[in-house]
Structure 1
């Protein structure tokens, strides 16, 4: 069982995603990582045959099982349809009802239902084969798709962000499945907990692909060593530029002194004219050779500097400085007392109380449908309590999953100025640059951004102003983010000194932003 890529190239809209890529995948679990836009999903689609090759060759030995980022469903589609066993189940049902034909008995798969139950249980899902997929949550649909994949018993799994939109239980089911997987797997993921279970990491960057043996922690350690080496290379290359410039200047000064001496001798008439002409010609030739040598050395050093800076751009962790909120340690920013709230006549939260004092950092954790989104609507005024009371600071910002804070028809820069009209252009550009929106990137229209870019834009607009909110609320902030974007968000949130309320199932993210208290629904 293997997947081998040979001289693979792919471009879109005139931009090369990768060029002459050579990679091989065997019987191991490989995490495929890289910034959004580097071609991770494209690479999976090329391997699976969903996209035609432009250049190069792909060799696959064994069968492939593919899980895309989203399970697309029609209104009538069932779990059985997803497994591809609708007709096989109908035969069993006819047999149970005493209506089966001889041909039915001949083709019946009597262990089918038991195998389906095992596959669904393996991803923590307890549903019937006739359950319609649209009635399941997004996370349940993802788990059903994964169960169908396991049921088909492929030699190689191709998984694209398998833990997106999953609650803690769902993420654990996917992790357990991969921990026990003994065949080949290529997993595109930003889930660092999941990447810890990998046997190898392949990183896609604008410079190509690099394979690292070991899991996520090993990869990060190797990257830190690479960064130190590249920084040393950059310092060496910059020194070579300086040394080359000094050497060229010294050679110019020596030549000027020699030329001055020669002119003086010529003026005195001490040397024959033919000798003076020969000396002048030799001087000019030497000068030309020295100039060419100096230019070649300077060009080589400049190329080394450029290459080192490109690597540093990829390797360098982010740091996001920002002003203080000035929030006092004893000030109450949120007080919820004995609240009952829900929709129509169905209560979701009963007798619920919560207090946030000072710059507390609190995570809300719970299964999908347990009331986390209802709580956020209650805090931000989208729902009124049926009973009890809610008091919340006026200095509040919410970044929900749809990023409704941003106007999708405007650019990132325009949204920033709309939210912070008192901030000048230089401060605006500096704030956006801290979240990796430099130069023309700040002029992108919000509706054209990826999910990760949109969240970074939202954070830049909220945390980039001169006055920061006392309370920041985030709803599943790491969904659809690449790891570089997650680390940019983490850097920003670590620098933020206000109160933080976060709904998230991403445990490494919660640890990275120093969550102090967890509330489990």
Structure 2
């Protein structure tokens, strides 16, 4: 690392997409050494901001200045499966030169390739070990490792370079629980400038500050995620009190304006009456009448100005209150009585070899855990009938729906409303739109082509189609549902599932999210067998 303190400074940063969509307008932001968690709603521009800092995108105007070398791990980045592990780590040249020197070849080019990095192999193996990749040899190919291991391998390559500025975009997506914990530890021990975009609650407990990207601005909160949520709760409570006070002021100003208008109308009528009965000289009466009208006009304008100012204060107060709507899934036809048999799997063996015995009754809530590649997705697809059992028996006694990781159950060319209607053919258009409003697709939003939706919106649309399908699902299978969802969407999903009254099986690695669902049973696929586990040990 260099001895110059690392920094990132965005000055008057403006960026928009070619279709005219504006993302940032004169953004001012600076980050110093320390671990920063960058959060915000889906579509707020978090990944775009990281790409601008990394130099992968150019700003429309303004500047991004970075002091120090950058290491960048983008979201869903793939490695060439033909590469050897040492090539993926970026140490193949130095390693080959080191081996040549050890074999007696003293060519200058070998010493130049090694430089001062004589312990490159030891550092590489230590880095792999720290990330739980101790079984991966440097001579293996990337194609031999799992998708989650590939992500950790890319992170290992960055850590070996020891950059001054490390940028990570949703690094725990698609990682199993063990790999997540390894990555959490790596982030907790990082001592440079780190900016991580994530919705992983456990990861965000290891940062030093939270940067909340909202409406094109970054708001800073000191401390980790828990400290941020406490500060935000206090802030929002104050904002809601300010709205109530502003609403009361608007009502008072309206009332006073009406009372003033009534009083002034009486005074005008009285002046007119005095003028008509001519108790005083005509010139005096005209003067008094004009004076009363001018006074009335001024008073009316003062009250109108006060009302306008009160409304402006109300508008400002309302802007400070966050309006992150929540999905509602209060669907009565999904309800299951306690003890009702939902699913029976006996002496079964899945296609890839996992042995399963499972009995689900009533509105149970089951968490399905296991390492990447253990067979969680295969089990869910088997329960839907998409994949046949290798042996054994399975009976699903209630309507079932499956939300896969790929979110590929909808027609991308059709609108949201058309997709939902296809799952509920007997429902009227009004009924479809009324139901879609529960999932925050109101008005024109329901007429958007599904293929144009963001990741979070596509998830909501898919969930809406499955939940509103006919017949109503009384067993819902979710596969890694929080991948690619922002934190507000994760909270919204948890709230939605809290009101779901059917049986639930959720495969995932996000333990805090699973706990928020009120899980009643925790199952893990391990060593080819589905077993019940104690959640205290997770």
Q: Same fold (TM over 0.5)?
A: yes
Aligned length: 515
2:479 equivalent among 467, 475, 494: 475
Structure 2 equivalent of residue 28 of structure 1: 34
2:406 is paired with a residue whose SS is coil
Matched, 1:499 2:503: yes
Q: How many angstroms apart in 1 are the aligned matches of 2:222 and 2:97?
A: 48
Q: Which stretch shows the higher mean deviation, 246-255 or 54-63?
A: 54-63
1:247 is paired with a residue whose SS is helix
Q: How many angstroms apart in 2 are the aligned matches of 1:137 and 1:309?
A: 48
Q: 1:154 to 1:19 in 2, by over 3 A?
A: same
Runs of 4+ in 1 over 6 A off after TM superposition: none
Q: 1:71 to 1:98 in 2, by over 3 A?
A: farther
Matched, 1:337 2:346: yes
Matched, 1:266 2:269: no
Q: Is the 8 A contact 1:71 1:141 kept in 2?
A: no
1:6 equivalent among 11, 16, 38: 11
| Residues 286-340 of structure 1 deviation map (CA, whole Å, 9 limit, x = unaligned) | 33333333333333333333333333334x5736251332311111111111112
Structure 1 equivalent of residue 528 of structure 2: none
Q: Which runs of 5+ in 1 are unaligned?
A: none
Structure 2 equivalent of residue 320 of structure 1: 328
1:38 equivalent among 29, 44, 48: 44
Displacement of 1:99: 5.8
1:313 is paired with a residue whose SS is coil
Q: How does 1:166-185 map to 2 (within 5 A)?
A: 166-185=175-194
Matched, 1:186 2:195: yes
Q: Is the 8 A contact 1:362 1:516 kept in 2?
A: yes
Q: Is the 8 A contact 2:423 2:468 kept in 1?
A: no
Structure 2 equivalent of residue 360 of structure 1: 364
Q: 1:7 to 1:378 in 2, by over 3 A?
A: same
Coordinate RMSD, CA, aligned: 2.2
Q: 1:299 to 1:424 in 2, by over 3 A?
A: farther
Q: How many angstroms apart in 1 are the aligned matches of 2:433 and 2:321?
A: 22
Structure 2 equivalent of residue 85 of structure 1: 91
Matched, 1:280 2:289: yes
Q: Which stretch shows the higher mean deviation, 22-31 or 144-153?
A: 22-31
Q: How many angstroms apart in 2 are the aligned matches of 1:173 and 1:210?
A: 29
Q: How many angstroms apart in 2 are the aligned matches of 1:91 and 1:78?
A: 16
Structure 1 equivalent of residue 171 of structure 2: 162
Displacement of 1:96: 5.4
Structure 2 equivalent of residue 369 of structure 1: 373
Q: Is the 8 A contact 2:26 2:62 kept in 1?
A: yes
Q: How many angstroms apart in 1 are the aligned matches of 2:58 and 2:289?
A: 66
Displacement of 1:469: 1.3
Structure 2 equivalent of residue 128 of structure 1: 137
Q: How does 1:45-444 map to 2 (within 5 A)?
A: 45-95=51-101, 101-105=107-111, 107-108=113-114, 109-126=117-134, 127-206=136-215, 208-314=217-323, 318=326, 320=328, 322-324=330-332, 325-342=334-351, 347-350=352-355, 352-444=356-448
Q: Which runs of 5+ in 2 are unaligned?
A: 526-538
| Residues 388-442 of structure 1 deviation map (CA, whole Å, 9 limit, x = unaligned) | 1011124111111122332222111122222223444454334323333233222
Q: What TM-score comes out, normalization by structure 1 length?
A: 0.93
Displacement of 1:17: 2.5
Q: Which stretch shows the higher mean deviation, 90-99 or 402-411?
A: 90-99
Q: What TM-score comes out, normalization by structure 2 length?
A: 0.90
Q: How many angstroms apart in 2 are the aligned matches of 1:234 and 1:431?
A: 30
1:280 is paired with a residue whose SS is helix
